[in-house]
Amino acid sequence: MQTYLVGGAVRDKLLGLAPGDRDWVVVGATPDDMLARGFRPVGRDFPVFLHPQTGEEYALARTERKSGRGYRGFVVDADPSVTLEQDLQRRDFTINAIAQDEHGELVDPHGGARDIERRVLRHVGPAFVEDPLRVLRAARFMARFAPLGFVVADETLALMRRIAASGELDALVPERVWQELRKALASKQPSAFLATLRASAALAAVLPEVDALYGVPQRADFHPEIDTGIHQQLVSDMAAGLAPGDDRVGFAALVHDLGKALTPKEALPRHIGHENAGIAPIRALCERLKVPAEHRELAVIACREHLNVPRLPELRDATVYALFARCDALRKPERIAQLALVCEADQRGRLGNADADYPQGRELRRLLDATLSVNAKDLAQQGLPGPQIGEALRKARIAAIAAARDRP
């Protein structure tokens, strides 16, 4: 029985990145051997165990054979005779197919360390095409590693196109698609996720609402990049920089302009009403991918309000209060901070505008603080009857907004 550190822990160490979770592969053992050593079984589809002290995952070395459609259509063999090299052969990319033994020596049969040096994301072998999820994993890895200079190998991109053309992407369950998208949005360069999927002809299958934005023109005086799809990539990257790791802000930024794909051709490059037109495709996308409610709600808010926030100095005090009320910000004030970040990403996600100041975001948060400083308990002490308290509270909060605007 031999144990090796594998996968991301080895890869990230070679890249000089902070270590994350450590995964291990065990060669020459049976499930009974693991149980006898106190390991706890957790794997459903193949034998995975948790270490009794560290809680780290230990998987028995295994091979996989394609038996059906989709990423679940595999027969797993975790016999003790399976070698480390056979286990590494089934992995997706060479940079993930590196193992390290107890002495720190690397086992690297597919040249993963060399590809790390060359900054290339390359598939391990022809079995890559058997798992459609690997197209999304490639795109997600690019969202993380493109800032380090990584590119997808031409031959890997060709296999990704082959998978997309096969229709196998339709077999992916929504939860797995969302999981990969969520991780990509929490990475440093989400635009690389979109660009990689588009280059492999997979974006139309996975996120057709986003794919439809490419080639849609915008007014050059507001959007020097013109193409809405390129604007979307800039916005996603800006959101990742403004709110690192926040996939709720990232998702709202991703879908804030979906309505532009629905603009009649005769109206282009203007997009009158796109903020309302985008709500239906957002809800459809969220329903299809089973997006969590908090992500969906912020996305709808950002789509609906992203033209109002930049105009904040022009809005009347009552209109500002109405915006807060529509966002349910009096109960969930964090939404306004998130909305401000999405709107800032939208404004700065344009060619030549990356370093622009965005005072509207700061002002929006300040006005919300003023609004929240007024509460119903203070009015109740004035002896107002119940039905009048609501209207008095609304007026008092509007007055607080007005007073805050008068202060420097």
Domain locations along the chain? 1-113, 132-200, 207-313+331-359
Separation between Cα atoms, residue 296 and residue 301, nearest integer Å: 9
Contact 142, 191 (CB under 8 A): no
Q: For residue 335, what are its two tokens?
A: 């939404």
Angle between helices 359-372 and 334-348 (to 10 degrees): 170
The model's pTM is 0.91
The pLDDT assigned to 408 comes to 63
Separation between Cα atoms, residue 172 and residue 180, nearest integer Å: 11
Say which CATH architecture domain 1-113 belongs to: 2-Layer Sandwich (3.30)
Q: What is the DSSP letter of 219?
A: -
Same fold, 1-113 and 132-200: no
Q: Which of 3.40.50.300, 2.60.40.420, 1.10.3720.10, 1.10.110.30 is the CATH number of 132-200?
A: 1.10.110.30
Mean pLDDT in order along the chain per 10 residues (408 residues): 93 91 93 93 84 93 67 69 93 96 95 98 93 96 97 98 94 94 98 98 97 97 97 98 98 98 97 98 98 98 98 97 96 97 98 96 97 78 67 91 87
Going by C-beta distance under 8 Å and a sequence separation of 6 or more, which residues neighbour residue 270?
A: 219, 263
Phi-psi region of 295 (alpha: psi -120 to 50; beta: other; left: phi over 0): alpha
Could you give phi then psi for residue 132, rounded to 5 degrees? -65, -25
Separation between Cα atoms, residue 265 and residue 343, nearest integer Å: 26
